[in-house]
Structure 1
Amino acid sequence: MPSENQEQSDKEPFVEIDPSGRYGRYNELLGCGAVKKVYRAFDQEDGIEVAWNQVKLRNFTNDPAMIERLYAEVGLLRSLADKNIITLYNVWRDAENNTLNFMTEVCTNGNLRDYRKKHKHVSLIALKKWSKQILKGLEYLHTHEPCVIHRDLNCSNVFINGNIGQVKIGDLGLAAIVGKNHSAHSVLGTPEFMAPELYEEDYTEMVDIYSFGMCVLEMVTLEIPYSECDNVVKIYKKVTSGVRPQSLNKVEDPEVKAFVEKCLAQPRARPSATELLNDPFFDEVEEDDNEENVYS
């Protein structure tokens, strides 16, 4: 039986159709970032809703490096295949309108930050289940050949299908592909979630573990880390001097606090995603019997 959204979709006209005629874009905006806009769209062949990501390239005519980065994101996404990473279906450049368009899967309940704000009464087990899936996505990225560092992991870049509790990492626009034993060099990301060494422009995939720790902290406290700071400079000073966000003091469960602290440790002391997945913190989190069916 078609959902209310589906019925509404069928009544709405497409405002744009891709060159193959398969995908139609609606006017409804799902999200808007500094670089791209994301619209609700429909895959007429498979009969599913998808996300139409659109970048106006004219905004970057004087910034060829940014255009290269956008192409790199798309190329990177196409090479990834993991149940905890947003899937890319198709990509094309619209020369007439000077846009780069790519179709990705859409998660029914948007990002984890908004979802968590909407549902304030969530058990620790549920939060651990979400956290474990984020870690599985990070493990896939970090053990990928070559290694992929997300660099901008935060709760607004993690998406959820709330009806099945399925979590996926998205927005790999700032991802860096680095070879083995090489560190990345550039400062990009969301200040509240950036590891101290990111500011020093010499870092490894361990920056994602730090950001993951901040995601767990936000999920538990419902507060964006360092919200006590009213500007980026203050955040930078606290992060680089090792001052923890005040919200960490609000975590009453010692197990949760210790787990977050592990993630925020000095780079060499931080556990890898694989090590964290084997942490006793997740001992009580059982794999869903139907997990493979859900993700297949």
Structure 2
Amino acid sequence: MMPAMDLSMVDRDMEPFVEVDPTGRYGRYAELLGAGAVKKVYRAFDQEEGIEVAWNQVKLRNFCDDEAMINRLYSEVRLLRNLKNKNIIALYSVWRDRERNTLNFITEVCTSGNLREYRKKHKQVSLKALKKWSRQILKGLDYLHTHEPCVIHRDLNCSNIFINGNVGQVKIGDLGLAATVGKNHSAHSLLGTPEFMAPELYDENYTELIDIYSFGMCLLEMVTLELPYSECDNVAKIYKKVTSGLRPQAMNKVKDPEVQAFIEKCLARPRARPSAADLLKDPFFDGIHEDDDENADDYSRN
């Protein structure tokens, strides 16, 4: 008779799951990938596909036990499962854990983290590369804005745009929360990123073009490596400048007139602000090949 295998010896070498989803498919590790005001993102594993994923966890007590708000949040996050685009982070699963009072959703994970960290890590980036990233962000926004129903991100900034650095593929993430609580003015201080918020967002009278304004601020940060309005030491000062139409000081650091003019288009008043589809046709992207911003194969040809 064969001796029974001591499983404790095997398990000791395996990284333990801290939590498993109700289906048993996804396991969460303790390692934190990122954290925001109401959400934590952990490294996780899809046992069925054998791939790493991100486990997003929202503590629902942050919503003050407002059941209607929680239900809206849940239903809107579920809606995002229908979004299928290579420049949008895919959502695989969503569930509410009443015992732990959390809302959990599993999303795809990008190998190189967010664009803000990536850009800080790699300071020497050509304008061509920045244009490739920008095109992909705009393609993602165009998909969201022309979707039925139209999806407005409402909190686009470089910390929720993600990158697979080995192939230069860029994806927009963090849709669920932004799209849900953006309308709730009291939530702005909690979730919105004032430096990236269009002036009309403060009036709660806006369209999907607020995402174009935020994209302009993202491009400004990518070019200058500086957070817009970093000269302001509090939110009130940022709000005053934004609503007065005063540009961030970082604009003075943009030396290329073509880049400056393109950013200005994105920051224009709502009526004059172009759509994502319009911007994709802009001469700014002339010479950037249709697919070489997404194909690793093209990288060797450049």
TM-score w.r.t. length of structure 2 = 0.87
The counterpart of 1:77, out of the listed 75, 80, 105, is 80
Same amino acid, percent of matched pairs: 78
Q: Note the 1:7-18 alignment, pairs <5 A.
A: 11-18=14-21
**Residue 78 of structure 1: CA displacement?**
1.0
Q: RMSD of aligned C-alpha atoms?
A: 2.0
Indicate yes or no: 2:117 matched with 1:129.
no
The counterpart of 1:175, out of the listed 172, 179, 195, is 179
Going from structure 1 to structure 2, the CA distance change for 1:84 and 1:244 (only over 3 Å counts) comes to same
The answer on whether the counterparts of 2:167 and 2:295 sit within 8 Å (CA) in structure 1 is no
Q: Which amino acid aligns with 2:215?
A: F
Give distance in 1, aligned partners of 2:154 and 2:79: 14
Is the radius of gyration larger for structure 1 or structure 2? 2
The counterpart of 2:197, out of the listed 194, 204, 208, is 194
The counterpart of 1:44, out of the listed 43, 47, 57, is 47
The counterpart of 1:212, out of the listed 200, 212, 215, is 215
**Map of 2:286 onto structure 1:** 283
Give distance in 2, aligned partners of 1:58 and 1:35: 9
Q: Which amino acid aligns with 2:149?
A: P
The counterpart of 1:90, out of the listed 79, 90, 93, is 93
Q: Which amino acid aligns with 1:221?
A: T
Going from structure 1 to structure 2, the CA distance change for 1:293 and 1:118 (only over 3 Å counts) comes to closer
SS in 1 for 2:110: coil
SS in 2 for 1:287: coil
Give distance in 1, aligned partners of 2:80 and 2:54: 14
Give distance in 2, aligned partners of 1:154 and 1:68: 26
Indicate yes or no: 2:25 matched with 1:22.
yes
**Map of 2:8 onto structure 1:** none
Going from structure 1 to structure 2, the CA distance change for 1:158 and 1:269 (only over 3 Å counts) comes to same
Give distance in 1, aligned partners of 2:294 and 2:133: 13
Q: Which amino acid aligns with 2:179?
A: A
**Residue 68 of structure 1: CA displacement?**
3.1
The answer on whether the counterparts of 2:58 and 2:102 sit within 8 Å (CA) in structure 1 is yes
Q: Deviations over 1:147-179 (max 9, x none)?
A: 1111110001101111111111111112169xx
Greater CA deviation, 284-293 or 242-251?
A: 284-293
**Residue 185 of structure 1: CA displacement?**
5.2
Indicate yes or no: 2:263 matched with 1:260.
yes
The counterpart of 1:274, out of the listed 267, 274, 277, is 277
The answer on whether the counterparts of 1:149 and 1:176 sit within 8 Å (CA) in structure 2 is no
**Map of 1:225 onto structure 2:** 228
Indicate yes or no: 2:242 matched with 1:234.
no
**Residue 75 of structure 1: CA displacement?**
1.8
Q: Which amino acid aligns with 2:26?
A: Y
Going from structure 1 to structure 2, the CA distance change for 1:271 and 1:59 (only over 3 Å counts) comes to closer
Give distance in 1, aligned partners of 2:31 and 2:241: 39
The answer on whether the counterparts of 1:148 and 1:176 sit within 8 Å (CA) in structure 2 is no
Q: Which amino acid aligns with 1:36?
A: K
**Residue 119 of structure 1: CA displacement?**
0.5
Q: Deviations over 1:182-232 (max 9, x none)?
A: xx9554321100111111111111111100000000000000000000000
Give distance in 1, aligned partners of 2:44 and 2:277: 35
Give distance in 2, aligned partners of 1:122 and 1:272: 26
TM-score w.r.t. length of structure 1 = 0.89
SS in 1 for 2:151: strand
Q: Deviations over 1:4-61 (max 9, x none)?
A: xxxxxx8311111112211111000011111111100001111100001112224434
Q: Which amino acid aligns with 1:201?
A: E
The counterpart of 1:53, out of the listed 52, 56, 59, is 56
Give distance in 2, aligned partners of 1:126 and 1:68: 41
